[in-house]
């Protein structure tokens, strides 16, 4: 009996060793396959550089031949001819009473302080590193917003969970989204071909690597379930950028984030023409409570002759464009424009709520010097003139978590949008 027990124990030990070896071999195989996939994706993402610049914030900026940038990997752009500058001019409709205080200071990109520059004929692209891809939940979705749960499902969705919608010319446009919380100023119309705003720069707390916090402009068209959108602003996104710095970003989609589009140049689509701006680069300096306030002017306008959507920063400084051929509805115009903030988290609209902050982290009601703002809110129609929208309204998915307030100081002074909030607190459990 004793011998049988010893033999049994011995056999079990051998089996355990063999099983552990098999697991080790399998783990090594999986690791090797993953490394190979990461290497392959890095080769696709990072184009051959003519020159590289090390930024003091740790980024590596590659100067890439303008004709070899990621945009031309898109099937619809294989034979695309670059439009080097917009063919239109947007006329200002400013009056003395509509101008806001211009004492706020402009922001700049950290990499420019490193003393380097990209030579003519190239564009600067932030290099994607192995650690960036290793942190991604999925290589296939790296650089993309997480897709929406089905917004209008008849099961597992309460009435309160469903997004609010507006109708324009019988087209349903969604406002709220299931795993995002927004606080915005919005306008609805038929023929918006541009929008602009001076966006206050802060560095909000992001409590989880899965979360992000953004301040931006959206231009949208199409049905709520598969809308098209072009977007730009600043964000803190640890999962994408590997840190908690506030960074310039752009985004586009043609199917409500399901599969198309991406942040910055992490997929093909956006055509960059400016050799001095890096999409995804850190911005500085950030505003501080009751201290100096910093802002950047963000403008997105469609070129009527090409249907390309041009991004400008500052005073008419073109960065590049989303080609009109990427879109269906947005080839003609946008019907919905939004300005404000957005927090993505698996823990919005739930309890316990995320503690990721929006804007400065203070509510909109705290106003100048405390809350984040957008000034000089403008739209452009086919008159090609900048105008304050004829109709605006505010929307907040979770008023007690993040709020929006279109503040009018006095008669004759243009409203200022304030937005933001701390996330979880006693009113937002």
Tokens of 302: 């469609």
Maximum separation of any 2 CA atoms in the chain, in Å: 102
Residues contacting 317, CB < 8 A, separation 6+ = 274, 277
Q: Is 110 helix (H, G, I), strand (E, B) or coil?
A: helix
Q: Which long-range contacts (CB under 8 A, 24 or more apart) does 96-104 make?
A: 97/412, 97/413, 97/414, 98/388, 98/414, 99/414, 100/198, 100/375, 100/376, 100/414, 100/416, 104/198, 104/200, 104/293, 104/294, 104/295, 104/375
Q: Which member of 228, 231, 338, 398 is catalytic?
A: 231
Segments of 208-356 assigned E as strands? 212-221, 228-236, 247-253, 271-272, 283-284, 294-302, 309-313, 317-322, 334-344
**Alpha-carbon span 266 to 385, nearest angstrom:** 33
Q: Is 231 a known active-site residue? A: yes
Q: Which member of 196, 228, 338, 342 is catalytic?
A: 342
Q: How far is CA 49 from CA 40, 56, 116, 131, 211, in A?
A: 17, 19, 14, 20, 32
For the chain, the C-alpha Rg in angstroms (whole number) is 24
Tokens of 301: 């306008």
Per-residue DSSP letter, 144: S
Active-site positions? 231, 342
């Amino acid at each position: 009996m004793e011998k049988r027990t010893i033999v049994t124990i011995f056999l079990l030990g051998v089996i355990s060793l063999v099983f552990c070896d098999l697991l080790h071999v399998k783990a090594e195989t999986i690791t090797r396959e993953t490394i190979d996939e990461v290497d392959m994706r890095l080769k696709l993402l990072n184009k051959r550089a003519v020159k590289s610049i090390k930024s003091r914030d740790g980024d590596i900026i590659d100067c890439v031949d303008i004709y070899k940038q990621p945009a031309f990997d898109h099937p619809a752009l294989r034979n695309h001819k670059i439009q080097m500058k917009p063919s239109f001019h947007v006329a200002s409709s400013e009056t003395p009473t509509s101008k806001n205080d211009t004492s706020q200071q402009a922001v700049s990109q950290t990499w420019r302080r490193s003393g380097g520059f990209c030579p003519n004929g190239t564009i600067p692209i932030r290099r994607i590193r192995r650690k960036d891809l290793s942190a991604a939940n999925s290589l296939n979705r790296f650089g993309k917003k997480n897709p929406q749960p089905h917004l209008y499902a008849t099961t597992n969705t309460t009435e309160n969970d469903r997004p609010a919608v507006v109708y324009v010319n019988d087209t349903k446009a969604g406002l709220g989204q299931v795993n995002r919380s927004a606080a915005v100023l919005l306008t609805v119309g038929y023929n918006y071909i541009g929008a602009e705003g001076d966006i206050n720069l802060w560095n909000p707390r992001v409590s989880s690597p899965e979360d992000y916090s953004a301040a931006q402009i959206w231009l949208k068209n199409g049905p709520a379930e598969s809308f098209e959108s072009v977007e730009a602003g600043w964000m803190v996104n640890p999962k994408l950028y590997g840190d908690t710095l506030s960074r310039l970003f752009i985004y586009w989609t043609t199917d409500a984030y399901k599969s198309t589009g991406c942040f910055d140049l992490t997929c093909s689509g956006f055509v960059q023409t400016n050799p001095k701006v890096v999409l995804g680069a850190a911005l500085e300096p950030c505003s501080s409570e009751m201290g100096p306030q910093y802002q950047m002017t963000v403008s997105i306008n469609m070129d009527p002759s090409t249907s390309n959507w041009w991004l400008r920063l500052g005073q008419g400084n073109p960065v590049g464009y989303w080609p009109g051929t990427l879109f269906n509805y947005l080839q003609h115009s946008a019907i919905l424009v939004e300005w404000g903030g957005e927090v993505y988290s698996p823990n919005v609209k739930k309890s316990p709520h995320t503690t990721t902050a929006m804007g400065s982290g203070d509510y909109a009601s705290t106003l100048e010097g405390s809350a984040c703002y957008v000034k000089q809110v403008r739209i452009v129609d086919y008159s090609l003139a900048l105008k304050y929208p004829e109709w605006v309204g505010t929307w907040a998915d979770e008023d007690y978590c993040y709020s929006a307030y279109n503040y009018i100081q006095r008669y004759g002074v243009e409203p200022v949008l304030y937005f933001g909030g701390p996330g979880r607190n006693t009113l937002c459990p």
